[in-house]
Amino acid sequence: MKTPRRTFLKSTGLAALFSFVPRSWAGVLGYPRALQGPMIGAPGPHHFTVWVRASGAFEVTLEYSTDREFKTVLQGARATAKTESDCCVVLRAEGLQPDTTYWYRLKYAGETDRHQFLPQRTRTAPAGAADFRVAFGSCCRIQFDPDQRIWNAVRGLEPDMFFWLGDNIYADSDQRAALVDLYGRGRTVERLEPLLRSTPQLATWDDHDFGYNDSDGHSPYKAESLQVFKNFWANPGYGEAGNPGVYFKQHYGGVDFFVLDGRYHRDRTDKTDDAGKTMLGAVQKAWLKRELKASRTPFKVLAIGGGWSTAENEKGGDSWGVYLTERDEIFDFIRDNGIGGVVCISGDSHMGELNCIPRSQQGGYDIYDFCSSPLAQMPANKNTRQAPEVRVRDTWTRSVNVGLMRFDMTGDKPTLTYTLHDVLGESVWEPLVLTPEDLRNGVSTWESKSDPVELQRLERFKRGGGYYGQDVPEGWPSRPYYDGSSD
């Protein structure tokens, strides 16, 4: 019986093709490649970390060099992607020189990714005190904004490290597939990819990537959410032995960063706010106190998803504003142990904020909260019904935004300069500049650092008026008086 000519050509062509396929490709659908990534993870003076999600269960190999042409190829780590880890792997190049540029590339089952021919470039962390930049943001909803122009501005700011402060995806689901799909989609945003491939990315989570809106430690899905989170990030650590979570410490350039988990061990928001109510859980809180006490850096940054001020001390709020007893316990510990240099960063609010908790009035020092939100989500004007202890700058609700901390640790007087940038990269406020001398017990700075108009609004609010109630230029028609009550 004759084989039809077309069938014969088809079968022999496929046979010829598969005769050249490496044996290591067996069981792989299509050719081995990256589905998402690479992305740079936790940095160090003598290493860099690479995350990637492979297209199947095969070996991924890291190669790196000090020259773009790879005249000298240095073999890095290798790992086998596994389906139970969503085929995500994390590889480290070790024994490197500090503050040095390295080129890297990945091979999949021994083959180059046919869609990624060019090598990528990153840089190791400095070994000591440095002049560097850290950007951060929160609330990145790809369903709302798949283009995400904010990343053009972030790349233009040239940060040395980027912190994701939660709601990094909007899964709002108990289905693992939903989390995996949205993490994957988020890693292929065209404007974001160059930043991911060159700049260390570290992350905590908030409710929308932890579980459902306002979800807490009672979530029955939290263990699986944590596993997916660990698969898709390359943080330096995830909680402690016997105490799961996403909290960790990262040192960079003479500054310690304490990234906290405000969800895994959280009590319900409507629980009475007393010494028995916790956002962090006892073990994480003990870790934070221990690490803060041991830190010797001039600045110490506390990072978490929800704001540190009283701004959301209202019905429906789920920030530190409804966990004030525990927040003040931490601030009392900082004061009582003479721990200087603490500042806070946060997200979630869908507004850019620069607030202050005037702890100098309780014998400590004023603690500032830098909030950047959103990266890719609808901005909100919740500021009209909220009143933190002190607004140092007016809220920013006109566009998406990103926060930038610039540390100069190289001289005798280290400085921290904070700015907030809009979608075009423009700074929306006058910079806030802090020194370690501003952040030590007995020093009050909030009045001198705050915008005069914000001080006027605060005084009006203290007298019983609405915070924004009388803010109209001279000669404008009057408008309804706002009394500060919630909607």
CATH number of residue 29's parent domain: 2.60.40.380
Does residue 371 belong to any structural domain of this protein?
A: yes
DSSP H or E segment with residue 76: strand 74-80
* Residue 201 CA, distance from chain mean position: 7
Summarised one tens digit per residue, pLDDT across range 91-145 is 999 999 999 999 999 999 999 999 999 999 999 999 999 999 999 999 999 999 9
Residue 410 sits in the same domain as residue 284:
yes
| Mean pLDDT for the stretch of residues 243-272 | 98
pLDDT of residue 321: 96
Q: Are residues 150 and 84 in the same domain?
A: no
Q: Is residue 14 in a domain?
A: no
Residue 1 makes CB contacts below 8 A (sequence gap 6+) with none
pLDDT the model gives residue 29: 54
Same domain as 415, residue 311: yes
Task: Single out the residue of 63, 59, 70, 64 nearest to residue 108, CA to CA.
Answer: 59
> Helix, strand, or coil here: 406?
strand
- Cα-to-chain-centroid distance, residue 197: 16
Whether the pLDDT of residue 11 is over 50: the answer is no
Q: How confident is the model at residue 481 (pLDDT cuts 50, 70, 90)?
A: very low
Residue 425, domain extent: 129-462
Confidence grade of residue 480 (pLDDT, cut at 50, 70, 90)? very low
Give yes or no for residue 18 having a pLDDT over 60.
no
Residues 152 and 60 in one domain: no
Lowest mean pLDDT among 129-138, 310-319, 374-383: 310-319
For residue 485, is pLDDT > 50? Answer: no
- Which pair of tokens denotes residue 270? 């409507």
Q: Record the pTM.
A: 0.91
Last residue of a domain, one of 122, 155, 173: 122
- Residue 241 burial (C-beta neighbours within 10 Å; 0-12, 13-18, 19+): exposed
Q: 251 and 139: one domain?
A: yes
Confidence at 271, pLDDT banded by 50, 70, 90: very high
Of 86, 102, 122, which residue constitutes the final position of a domain?
Answer: 122
| Mean predicted confidence (pLDDT) in 372-396 | 93
Residue 479 counted as domain residue: no
Q: Could you tell me if 432 and 334 lie in one domain?
A: yes
Report how far residue 178's alpha carbon sits from residue 171's, in angstroms, rounded to the nearest whole number. 6
320 shares its domain with 384? yes
pLDDT-above-90 percentage for the chain? 85
Q: Are residues 289 and 438 in the same domain?
A: yes
Sign of CA dihedral 260, 266, 271, 277: negative
Q: Are residues 326 and 437 in the same domain?
A: yes
Of 235 and 5, more confident:
235
Q: Return the pLDDT at 2.
A: 43
Residue 419's H or E segment, with its range, is strand 415-421
Please indicate, yes or no, if residue 289 is contained in any of the structural domains. yes
**24 closest CA partner among 131, 110, 127, 152:** 110
Claim to verify: residue 294 and residue 442 sit in the same structural domain: yes
